[in-house]
Amino acid sequence: MATTIFISGIHGVGKTTLCNKITNHLGFRHYSCSDLIKQNSDYVETSKKIDNASRNQEVLLKAIENIKDKVYLLDGHFCLIDKLENVIQLDQSVFKSIAPKAIVNICCETSIIRERLINRDGKALSLTKLNELQSAEKTVSAEVAETLNIPYFVYTSSEPVDELITLLKQITL
């Protein structure tokens, strides 16, 4: 059974940056939920707003079955924005199926996230909507960790990673 470390956070919070730092320290392979969905379906991203979360989650679970790494990082979301800009929570059964050994939730000042998104994507949600989404992501990620009885760590984007690296070493031994 593989050891999956789930790295959560909203778009633009720094999931890829953190995963690269962890990979440099520990050598774990990094996968992105959205990349796995894109690579294993006819999904074409036209915006960060989703319209078929349940189908995407089925594709994701199928793609994860093909991962052969003993330990890996999986970055993704517990909450997303739908086409009407409502925050939606992904079905917790998906995370039970993924069965992560730990969850790391990344947080950051939403003004910084908004600036990153504008620089990267040319657009961003309002600060109010980003705050709502980040709050929901943090709440739901903690709930899932509690439900699964696994370690939960909140990491603030751009902080040193030493404590997190120590925790991940303990979990993956």
Q: Name which of 15, 45, 22 is nearest 161 in CA terms.
A: 22
Answer yes or no: is 49 within a domain. Answer: yes
Total domains in the chain come to 1
Answer yes or no: is 31 within a domain. Answer: yes
Q: How far apart are CA 124 and CA 118, in angstroms?
A: 6
Answer yes or no: is 171 within a domain. Answer: no
Answer yes or no: is 172 within a domain. Answer: no
Q: What is the pLDDT of residue 143?
A: 98
Could you read off the pLDDT of 12-56 as tens digits, one per residue?
999 999 999 999 999 999 999 999 998 988 755 555 555 557 788
Q: How far apart are CA 73 and CA 7, in angstroms?
A: 7
Answer yes or no: is 117 within a domain. Answer: yes
Could you read off the pLDDT of 118-134 as tens digits, one per residue?
999 999 999 999 999 99
Could you read off the pLDDT of 62-118 as tens digits, one per residue?
999 999 999 999 999 999 999 899 999 999 999 999 999 999 999 999 999 999 999
Q: How far apart are CA 117 and CA 34, in angstroms?
A: 16
Residue 16: which CATH number? 3.40.50.300
Q: How far apart are CA 141 and CA 155, in angstroms?
A: 12
Q: Name which of 70, 87, 169, 67 is nearest 129 in CA terms.
A: 87
Question: How many Cβ atoms from other residues are within 10 Å of residue 85's Cβ?
Answer: 12
Answer yes or no: is 152 within a domain. Answer: yes
Answer yes or no: is 68 within a domain. Answer: yes
Angle at 8 between CA 45 and CA 61, to 5 degrees: 60
Answer yes or no: is 173 within a domain. Answer: no
CB 154 within 8 A of CB 108: no
Domain that holds residue 89: 3-165
Tokens 């998104």 label which residue? 117
